Amino acid sequence: MRRALPRRAIAGGVGRSGSMEWHRVDPSREADRVRAFLSEADPDDYLLEDLSEWVRDGRLWVGEENGQWCAFGRLHDLGSGEGWASGMRVLPARRGQGVGTGLLRALLSDARSIGVTAVRAVIEDGNLPSRRLFGRCGFDTVADLALRCGRAREVGGPTLRRARPDDRVDGPVEWVPAATRRVDLLPGSDGGRFGAWRSSLLARWAEEGKLYLGPGLAVAVQTDWWEEPRTLWVNPLRGEPDALFPALDRLTLTLNHEEWQAFLPSTDELRAKYAELGTFPHPAWGDRVGLYERIE
């Protein structure tokens, strides 16, 4: 039996707020229960696709009341004092009762316990409850993004090639990182995790075979993002859409994928340009996504 700590004392891996107990998932004995919880709420939940990796990461949190799990969320430690809050789920019957607030506070307490002082998340514009929740917990919007998709196809324009050890890309790089003041860190198969720019990222991506270059163009990609349809996750680093998007279409085809996805800056002018170049909004996220950040 877990020892109940004082209210909001969560950093050690267990805590209580009201009648809700928060604890970090024990992968050795609760992995199946996590899957059952998510499957019961939504059998098509996309989290089920990567759940095994999430469980291994070891920073999954649940809220339990009278033996029933009511909420679930994840803190992803990105290193260098940065973290990512994601996968937050609350049972429909318990929404609007402060459970989401308790869950996010548990994640933030866990972050403090491991020295994470900057926590971020992306929230679609239409998800008003989550936007309000993160705002109440001290998060600010630091960038407006669009999650855009492109199709694999043979088109004209420049070609992207895998970076060689002697290639040099000076940073911080432009366009997306410049607009967001953050860069997608591409940890493992989790694309879309933004962190502070550091030049060592380019060397790491080149060593891992993820960095691709062209004339005035630079992107980092990962091929293990999504299996159906086979999707290339793209982190645009340099190059404007007119040249970069056709190159991405060709690279996606070359790498035997069906489409590519990327977070891009979102303004009325840019969204019109994206549509003109044949990209389309992600069906679940669309063209207005906020990058939220809380720094202690």
- For 275, the token pair is 């549509």
pLDDT of residue 160: 97
CB contact at 8 A, 229 and 216: no
pLDDT of residue 9: 38
**How many Å apart are CA 71 and CA 88, to the nearest integer?**
7
In this structure, what is the dihedral angle of CA atoms 131, 50, 25, 295, given to the nearest 10 degrees? -40
Q: Helix (H, G, I), strand (E, B), or coil: what is residue 138?
A: coil
Q: Answer whether 35's CB lies under 8 Å from 42's CB.
A: no
Condensed to tens digits (0 to 9), the pLDDT of residues 178-236 reads 777 788 888 777 788 998 888 788 888 999 999 999 998 999 999 888 788 899 999 99
Regions of the chain short of the pLDDT cut 70: 1-18, 58, 170-176
Task: Report the pLDDT value the prediction gives residue 14, as an integer from 0 to 100.
Answer: 54
Reported pTM: 0.86
pLDDT (0 to 100) of residue 13: 57
Which residue bears the tokens 């260098």?
80
| pLDDT at residue 11, as a whole number | 45
- What's the token pair of residue 32? 């199946």
pLDDT for 102: 94
Distance CA 15, CA 18 (A): 10
Q: What is the CA radius of gyration of the chain?
A: 20
Integer Cα distance of 230 and 88 in angstroms: 25
User: 157: Cβ–Cβ under 8 A, 6 or more apart, which residues?
Assistant: 243, 246, 247, 250
The Cα 280–Cα 72 span in angstroms is: 31
The residue count for the chain: 296
Residue 235: the pLDDT is 92
How many CB atoms are closer than 10 A to CB 44? 7
